[in-house]
Amino acid sequence: MLKTASLQKTAMRTAFAEVLRVATPLMISTGMFSVVLFVDRTLLLRHNPSEMSASMAGGNAFWSVICIFVGIASMTGAIISQYMGTGRPSRVGRLLWQAAFFSLASLPVFLACGLAGEWFFRLTGQPDALIGLETTYFRILMWGGAGEVLQTALSGFFSGTHRTRVIMLVSIASAVVNLFLDVVLIFGIPSTWLGPIAGLFDADVEGRIFHLGIAGAAIASSCSFWFKAMFYVALLTHREIDRDFGIRRGFRVDLRMLKTLIFFGLPSGLMSLTEAGGFTAIVQRIGRLGDVPLQATSMAINFNMIAFIPLVGMSIAASVLVGRHLTETGPEAAVTRVRAALIVGWLYSIAWAVAYVMIPDRLIAFYQWASLMEANSAASIAAESLLWFVAIYVLLDATQLILAGALRGAGDTWFVLAAGAGVSIVSVIVGIAMEPECDAVDQTSIREALLWWWWIITGWVIALAFAMSLRFRSRAWQHKRMV
């Protein structure tokens, strides 16, 4: 009995070490994205508060369009991990080519959706000024959509083969490019900096060029998407990678492999679509309450994203670890890795929950410093109260993300879709059906409606965590395979 306990402790230590080795770079990588998103929106808040609100709505719509494609492309990591576990690395190159073909084929679809952006935003009934900003942001982002799908697909090679430090370094480089372009293109630069060639550019009334506001933020994001994709392309052409994984000799259309990628990836994409669509619907409903509730929601969501997005890295780690261990060492090793990932994710989430409860005013004060907002502004005060909701569900958000990643790594993607879509649809329907009546001039009714939608968001996360926990405990996923 003592020997068994000792073996279990050793297994857990090994699992923790592997989880931290694979997940830490991924958490830093996805964390860099959350930092870029946070700074991007904060810079827009400083430039024009309405632009920050528009960027959240436009960004949500952008994600709703591309998430199916990104979801399909994201399965490359889990499938590659199973190829590695079964000792078939030579199949990796051909899989990457199918993912690349699929990614590039998405470009005309995204551009067509960009043309329909204004029509979509007008359906929301928001003010014309906000619709114009949202449309501009959305249309420009669409040019970068295929780049985001492609970089997601190619990064799967590095996560599936546990080369996660590469993903971290590429993400850091991309973040630097994005932030530099944000500052230059949102606020512009003094024309005097360009010396004799300044006359080639049109300056605004303040003597600045490239002063594009929200359009500049969208251009910066689109450029960063393609930057990451091209960086991965350059890395994959390395001689050793090409030799070991058949990158160049895999250049062909393989319909069977493409169908496998789409079959297992489509549920992930559809789940992301239902979640993004549901969240977009909620944001649009909050936007109908006025600019202050939407700004407050934007502030709270931005801080939520700082905690949430690094956990996506942990979810990816759980996915590739489960995929590899299911095919290499068996279900028990996979379960041990998931347990270790949950413990790390919970510890990380608890730290954020404490901050949301103990120092919400100091967190929101960052916006006041960055945008010169008044400390007692209505949006700031409302945002502080909304952070309490984030503190309530942040631990459960970690749970559902990590368990969903584990299930996807096994190939149980259709259950993840059914659970995620069901919870999302029910949450939005209940939210709309039971939404309190709101008078546009009655601040009390506006606050009640705002809090109602945040309770809906909280209940949504709780239900997702419950569904994923039940499926994981059932162990039905342990018999799934993708290769």
Cα–Cα distance measured from residue 368 to residue 388, given in angstroms and rounded to the nearest whole number: 19
Backbone CA torsion sign across 143, 146, 148, 150: negative
pLDDT one digit per residue (tens) for the chain, 483 residues: 555 666 677 778 888 888 889 988 988 888 777 677 777 777 887 788 788 778 877 887 888 889 899 989 999 998 999 999 888 888 999 999 999 999 999 999 999 999 988 888 887 777 777 888 889 999 999 999 999 999 999 999 999 998 999 999 999 999 999 989 988 888 877 766 666 665 655 666 566 777 788 889 999 999 999 999 999 999 998 889 988 898 998 899 999 999 999 999 999 889 888 887 788 788 878 878 887 888 888 788 877 877 888 888 899 999 999 988 888 888 898 899 999 999 999 999 999 999 998 888 888 777 666 554 554 577 788 888 889 998 888 899 999 999 999 999 888 999 999 999 999 999 999 999 998 887 766 777 888 888 999 999 999 999 999 999 999 998 888 888 887
Three-state SS string across the chain, please? CHHHHHHHHHHHHHHHHHHHHHHHHHHHHHHHHHHHHHHHHHHHHHHCHHHHHHHHHHHHHHHHHHHHHHHHHCHHHHHHHHHHHCCCHHHHHHHHHHHHHHHHHCHHHHHHHHHCHHHHHHCCCCCHHHHHHHHHHHHHHHHHHHHHHHHHHHHHHHHHCCCHHHHHHHHHHHHHHHHHHHHHHHHCEEHHHHHHHHHHCCCCCCCEECCCCHHHHHHHHHHHHHHHHHHHHHHHCCHHHHHHHCCCCCCCCCHHHHHHHHHHHHHHHHHHHHHHHHHHHHHHHHHCCCHHHHHHHHHHHHHHHHHHHHHHHHHHHHHHHHHHHHHHCCHHHHHHHHHHHHHHHHHHHHHHHHHHHHCHHHHHHHHHHHHCCCCCCHHHHHHHHHHHHHHHHHHHHHHHHHHHHHHHHHCCHHHHHHHHHHHHHHHHHHHHHCCCCCCCCCHHHHHHHHHHHHHHHHHHHHHHHHHHHHHHHHCHHHHCCCC
Query: Computed over its alpha carbons, how large is the radius of gyration of the chain?
Result: 23
> What is the distance of C-alpha 103 from the center of its chain?
17
Contact 110, 145 (CB under 8 A): yes
pLDDT at 198: 57
Contact 469, 251 (CB under 8 A): no
Short-list 102, 105, 107, CA closest to 255: 102
Paired residues of 209 in beta bridges: 189
Contact 227, 154 (CB under 8 A): no
Contact 342, 395 (CB under 8 A): no
Residue type, 258: L
Residue 46, CA distances (Å) to 282, 351, 373 in order: 25, 28, 9
Cα–Cα distance measured from residue 361 to residue 384, given in angstroms and rounded to the nearest whole number: 6
Buried/exposed code over 426-436 (b: 16+ C-beta within 10 A; e: otherwise):
ebbeebeeeee
pLDDT at 196: 64
Cα–Cα distance measured from residue 420 to residue 271, given in angstroms and rounded to the nearest whole number: 6
Cα–Cα distance measured from residue 335 to residue 100, given in angstroms and rounded to the nearest whole number: 32
pLDDT at 42: 78
pLDDT at 402: 94
pLDDT at 203: 63
pLDDT at 472: 93
pLDDT at 372: 47
Cα–Cα distance measured from residue 337 to residue 20, given in angstroms and rounded to the nearest whole number: 10
